[in-house]
């Protein structure tokens, strides 16, 4: 299907310094550490400073990914930023990142696919390269969800955190890199995970602010049922498309939303927890940033090695889902 094999040549991540623990949250809303950990697996999350934006976090992650890829900003042909928390309605956050990096020849655009955004971004960027149009694409997932959370809603405010992860995509040796991709959407269920106001349907007004309609609203039970079903399905479809078997899989890199969802996917894919990249206990749900941050940590600590078969799988607002199979093409420090 692809003319050129495309892989990840560099990866980096950034999370804000401020830590918000479950014990801190218990001082803000009616909740406690045991309740949160039992139901979600989350122990703490990172919170951006008041003046930090999605483009700020994205730029920090991008700098690290570029360094890891031994690439300069001037070599980047395209910047894709997946975010549900852009700096502005427009210009795009990707354009702001382009300016901050001084990536003078790069085209730039955002993707609004919620927590699935990074997987969509990888799939899109890879196709620009495999077609021969571009050589190097920077894909970033960046979120400051703390700024659109209703801190009085204990069902949602305990879940989310801020952070960013980035990768550089470019051609790699045949047989490595992105082997398959599966993307999907069910817009009929879009209302179960939504920020109702701020767009053209409900423009900002005194009432929308008073009613907290600019904050995340979620029907948790419906999202949970969808996630458990789609994580397995999307993973299996991508594995089949890659002409692999379940036993060929080395690591699952799942969206970090809830440990029960991840454990369900692992059970159905016949993988143990040590074969999953899990860090939601430290960061919570960082939406589009969760997969690249988890992958970056697994690569940096030597768990992911060249030749490993990875499945990246996510679900998010839309409702959307996406999965990728990647044969890791990058040499590790010990390889």
Convert the chain into a string of H (helix), E (strand) and C (coil): CCCCCEEEEEEEEECCCEEEEHHHHHCCCCCCHHHHHHHHCCCEEEECCCCCCHHHHHHHHHHHHHHHCCCCHHHCCEEEEECCCCCCCCCCHHHHHHHHHCCCCCEEEEECCHHHHHHHHHHHHHHHHHCCCCCCEEEEEEEEHHHCCCCCCHHHHCCECEEEEEEEEEECCCCCEEEEEEEEECHHHHHHEECCCCCCCCCCCHHHHHCCCCCCEECHHHHHHHHHHHHHHHHHHHHHHCCCCHHHCCEEEECCCCHHHHHHHHHHCCCCHHHECCCHHHHCECHHHHHHHHHHHHHHCCCCCCCCEEEEEEEECCCEEEEEEEECCCCCCCC
Domains of the chain (ranges; CATH) run 6-175 (3.40.47.10), 178-327 (3.40.47.10)
- Token readout for 189 is 């269920």
The answer to whether 92 and 83 are in contact (CB under 8 A) is no
- Catalytic position from the list 22, 172, 255, 279: 255
Chunked mean pLDDT (size 10), the chain, 335 residues: 84 98 96 97 98 98 98 98 98 98 98 98 98 98 98 96 99 97 97 98 98 97 96 97 96 97 93 95 98 98 97 98 97 65
Asked if 245 and 271 touch (Cβ cutoff 8 Å), the reply is no
**Cα–chain center distance at 230:** 16
Given the residues 22, 115, 181, 279, the one annotated as active site = 115
Compute the chain's Rg from CA coordinates: 19
The Cα 314–Cα 334 span in angstroms is 30
Phi first, then psi, for residue 201 (nearest 5°) are -75, -45
285 in active site: yes
pLDDT at 335: 55
Q: Among this protein's residues, is 281 annotated catalytic?
A: no
319, 321, 27: which is closest to 188 by C-alpha?
A: 319
Strand partners, 193: 218
The per-residue pLDDT for 332 is: 72
Catalytic residue among 258, 279, 285, 329: 285
Question: What confidence score (pLDDT) does residue 205 get?
Answer: 98
CB contact at 8 A, 246 and 269: yes
Q: Is 214 a catalytic residue?
A: no
**Alpha-carbon dihedral sign for residues 159, 163, 169, 172:** negative
pTM beyond 0.85: yes
Give the pLDDT of residue 333.
58
């Amino acid at each position: 299907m692809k003319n050129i094999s495309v892989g990840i040549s560099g990866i980096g991540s950034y999370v804000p310094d401020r830590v918000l623990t479950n014990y801190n949250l218990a001082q803000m809303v009616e909740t406690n550490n045991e309740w949160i950990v039992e139901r979600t697996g989350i122990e703490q999350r990172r919170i951006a400073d008041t003046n930090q934006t999605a483009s700020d976090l994205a730029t920090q992650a991008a700098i690290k990914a570029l360094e890891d890829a031994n690439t300069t900003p001037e070599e980047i042909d395209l910047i894709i930023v997946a975010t549900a928390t852009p700096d502005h309605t427009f210009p795009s956050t990707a354009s702001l990142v382009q300016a901050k990096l001084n990536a003078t020849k790069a085209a730039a655009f955002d993707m609004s696919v919620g927590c699935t955004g990074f997987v969509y971004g990888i799939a899109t960027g890879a196709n620009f390269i495999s077609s021969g149009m571009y050589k190097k694409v920077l894909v970033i997932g960046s979120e400051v969800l703390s700024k659109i959370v209703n801190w009085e809603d204990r069902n949602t405010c305990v879940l989310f955190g801020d952070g960013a992860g980035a990768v550089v995509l470019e051609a790699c040796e045949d047989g490595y890199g992105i082997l398959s991709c599966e993307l999907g959407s069910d817009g009929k269920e879009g209302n179960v995970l939504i920020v109702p106001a701020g767009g053209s349907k409900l423009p900002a007004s005194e009432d929308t602010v008073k009613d907290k309609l600019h904050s995340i609203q979620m029907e948790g039970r419906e999202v949970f049922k969808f996630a458990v079903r789609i994580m397995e399905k999307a993973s299996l479809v991508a594995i089949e498309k890659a002409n692999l078997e379940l036993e060929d899989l080395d690591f699952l890199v799942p969206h970090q939303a809830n440990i029960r969802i991840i454990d369900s996917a692992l059970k159905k894919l016949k993988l143990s927890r040590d074969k999953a990249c899990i860090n939601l206990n430290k960061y919570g749900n960082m939406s589009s940033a969760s997969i690249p941050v988890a992958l970056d940590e697994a690569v940096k600590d030597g768990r992911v090695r060249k030749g490993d078969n990875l499945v990246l799988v996510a679900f998010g607002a839309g409702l959307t889902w996406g999965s990728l199979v990647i044969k890791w093409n990058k040499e590790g420090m010990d390889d």
